[in-house]
Amino acid sequence: TGIMNEPPITIRVQGPESKWRYENEWPVARRKETTFYLHPGGALDSKLYEGKDESDSFDHNATVGVCRGLEDEWAFPFGLPMDQRDDEALSLTYTTQPLPEDTEITGAPVMKLFVSTSADEGIISVKLNDVAPDGSSALITSSVLNLAQRESREAILTVKPGEVYRIVMKKVDG
């Protein structure tokens, strides 16, 4: 059948014409990592912000997240995420200028943040969305972190109101 002659890694590249592709290694050796930085006013840019330190804040709204779909975004048909604009309207959002060309994201995007809360608990949710020219917003991937488990899922830590925490989030399957 030739199965033993195929490369060891098979990935699914999503898009208008999703396809399966073979790779010889993981992570993919030819990848190009790009860093984006949060800027005031909701901008997301590949250039580091060099202005004065600023922070963004928002008031918690328990209805945010209903557009995310189920935890397993592959649980057809119930896990299919909806247009994310309703959630975005109630959230902090950061958006790039339109990218100059189609861009493939392979692997697990990583988000590094400095966060604080006015409460003794907090849940941080990060979503990576594809915003179409018509403004519709499609979920690509997401990650959720309980601040009390900011270092590991096993260790429960105290969350102190007003204290700034550095957190690292990425999509981890399972």
Q: Which of 151, 86, 154, 150 lies closest to 123 in space, CA to CA?
A: 150
What pLDDT digit, counting tens, does each position of 68-87 carry? Answer: 665 555 555 555 567 899 88
Confidence of residue 47 (pLDDT cuts 50, 70, 90): very high
Q: What is the pTM of this model?
A: 0.82
In this prediction, residue 174 carries a pLDDT of 39
- Would you kindly state where each structural domain of the chain is located, as residue ranges? 3-170
pLDDT (mean) for 144-157: 92
Question: How far is Cα 141 from Cα 79, in angstroms, rounded to an integer?
Answer: 12
**Sign of CA pseudo-dihedral 86, 61, 152, 116:** positive
Bridge-based pairing of strands 9-13 and 110-115 is unpaired
Q: Topology of domain 3-170, per CATH?
A: Jelly Rolls (2.60.120)
Dihedral pair phi/psi, residue 44, rounded to 5°: -130, 120
Q: End-to-end CA distance of the chain, in Å? A: 32
